A = this chain, B = another copy of it.
């Protein structure tokens, strides 16, 4: 299934009040996704929290999934800023900071929790971020392998699954109070086991 993502470029510029309503709706949608999950979030709740009518929401977003996707885009950019990752150390630092953010942790767990009933949402998140970021990460792994910091038979795809998986495991088993430094130690230990020698 192909989901048409409603972006700001598709909409008429609108009056300031209309743009305010847009922002309020998208903020409310992201907050509710994080607080209650995709399944328990309704257009009605989003409208109430944003202080607009349901009709105002429906005029902009035909359904909940497209609203939540637009909320992710609004928060993270569309297209999101392509990360420039110099090397594995920078990847470790960036990932640790992101994964230690409590709001980001909850959002990621909510997206995992949505896989079963709202697969389009998880897929949209992956399309928005995954493609660019994952390729940048694969390039870093390949480069580290070529410079001898990873075993010569390392597979960037496997490393990406292995590290992304380690983050799911961290989100599931470590407290949300963990610091970026603790998160970095965790990821460094995983990378060390995967053969990384800086």
Contact = CB atoms under 8 A, between A and B. Distances in A.
Majority-rule SS of A interface residues: helix
A193 B116 contact: no
Contact of A40 (B39, B154, B159, B173): B39
Contacts of A162: 162, 165-166, 169, 190, 193-194
A158 interface: yes
Given A161-B166, A162-B165, A165-B167, A115 B172 contact: yes
Given A193-B194, A193-B195, A164 B158 contact: no
A125 to B, nearest CB: 11
A78 B167 CA distance: 30
B172 A190 contact: no
For chain A, which range describes its interface: under 10, 10 to 19, 20 to 34, or 35 or more residues? 35 or more
Contacts of A122: 172
Nearest to A40: B39
Interface of A: 37, 39-40, 106, 109-110, 112-117, 122, 151, 153-155, 158-159, 161-162, 164-173, 186, 189-190, 192-195
A161 B114 CA distance: 23
A17 B192 CA distance: 57
Nearest to A110: B116
Report which residue of A106, A153, A164, A170 has the largest number of chain B beta carbons within 10 angstroms of its beta carbon.
A164
Given A109-B116, A166-B165, A168-B165, A158 B37 contact: no
A132 to B, nearest CB: 17
A98 to B, nearest CB: 16
A190 B37 CA distance: 31
A121 B138 CA distance: 36
Given A39-B37, A169-B168, A193 B109 contact: no
Given A113-B113, A113-B114, A113-B116, 8 more contacts: A37-B39, A153-B192, A155-B189, A158-B193, A162-B193, A165-B170, A193-B194, A193-B195
